Amino acid sequence: MDSVNPFSLEGKTILVTGASSGIGRSIAVACSQMGAKVIVNGRNEQKLKETLAMMPGDGHDVKVGDLTDTTSLPTMVGTLPKLDGIVHCAGIGTRVLCKNVVEADIDQTMGTNFKAPVLLQTELLKQKKINKGASIVFVASLSTDSPSVGNALYAASKGALVAYANCLQLELAPRMIRVNCISPAMVWTDLIFKGGLTEEELHEDEQKYPLKRYGRPEDIAHLAVYLLSDAASWMAGSNVKITGGAK
């Protein structure tokens, strides 16, 4: 490789969605620490500015916008520079028993976790915003292969994302653009408290993991940096599970 450090992101411009908190914020910060110019996207401008304040280096930018508002997507994408990396991290957690699912639940979960990143990706391609040799990363979930009560819609939305990414990889391979997914098990973010368990119950549950803990946002961020870097130049069409040994 030409680079002395193949894990460096120097000279790369990377878009991270869902960067106002949790895993997305951690990925944005980690990318900046590795030398990338990072564009952070989310709905909450104040939280995005907090993320920006954590990021070393110059040239970073904030793009406030709700990705589920498809009418504003073309305008937002039009303001972006050419990208060397994209991390689709925006998403919501939801828990509802299968017998209680209503159409609004499906629309909200699939709309945010699947429809929004797919249509953003479409617009990025339509406007030719992705450089040859770029890397695209979708943050999915171990839940697609590890079912739990009440998690059907969330798992289905992430499973759809993985299936979409597999096809996207085939279509973009002629331009040497790599597409991969990250599927974490439980990670300590605000999302995990929406399942109805208390912090004490969650700490008890994490002891069942072989490594005796849930993931931290930076655990996922470090994997994302690898997939975005030239060190992963032969990594394509993969769904990488990062689980602390959980199955």
C-alpha span between 4 and 150 (Å, rounded) = 48
Digit-coded pLDDT (tens) for 18-47: 999 999 999 999 999 999 999 999 999 999
Q: Which residue has the tokens 């952070």?
A: 40
Q: Where are the beta strands (DSSP E) in 148-188?
A: 178-184
- Nearest CA among 153, 149, 161, 223 for reference residue 187: 223
- Nearest CA among 80, 31, 83 for reference residue 52: 31
CB-based contacts of 113, cutoff 8 Å, min separation 6: 91, 92, 154, 157, 158, 161
- Say if residue 166 is exposed, middle or buried (CB neighbours under 10 Å; 0-12, 13-18, 19+): middle
C-alpha span between 29 and 35 (Å, rounded) = 10
* pLDDT for the residue numbered 226: 98
- In percent, the amount of the chain with pLDDT more than 70 equals 98
Give the pair of three-digit tokens for residue 31: 């990318």
Mean local confidence (pLDDT), 64-76? 95
pLDDT at 220 > cutoff 50: yes
Return the minimum-mean-pLDDT range out of 192-196, 224-228, 233-237. Answer: 192-196
- When the pLDDT of each residue in the chain is averaged and rounded to a whole number, the result is 95
Element (H, E) at 83: strand 83-88
* pLDDT for the residue numbered 190: 84
Digit-coded pLDDT (tens) for 151-184: 999 999 999 999 999 999 999 999 999 999 999 9
Give the pair of three-digit tokens for residue 32: 């900046």
* pLDDT for the residue numbered 218: 98
Q: Where are the beta strands (DSSP E) in 89-189?
A: 130-139, 178-184
C-alpha span between 14 and 225 (Å, rounded) = 10
C-alpha span between 5 and 226 (Å, rounded) = 12
pLDDT at 3 > cutoff 90: no
| Pair 209, 246: CB distance under 8 Å | yes
* pLDDT for the residue numbered 247: 85
User: Would you list the domain boundaries of the chain?
Assistant: 13-242
pLDDT at 2 > cutoff 60: no
CB-based contacts of 233, cutoff 8 Å, min separation 6: 1, 6, 178
* pLDDT for the residue numbered 32: 98
Catalytic residues: 154
* pLDDT for the residue numbered 63: 97
Fold of 13-242: Rossmann fold (3.40.50)
Q: How confident is the model at residue 193 (pLDDT cuts 50, 70, 90)?
A: confident
Single pTM value for the model: 0.95
* pLDDT for the residue numbered 1: 42
| Pair 181, 140: CB distance under 8 Å | yes
Digit-coded pLDDT (tens) for 85-126: 999 999 998 899 999 999 999 999 999 999 999 999 999 999
pLDDT at 195 > cutoff 80: no
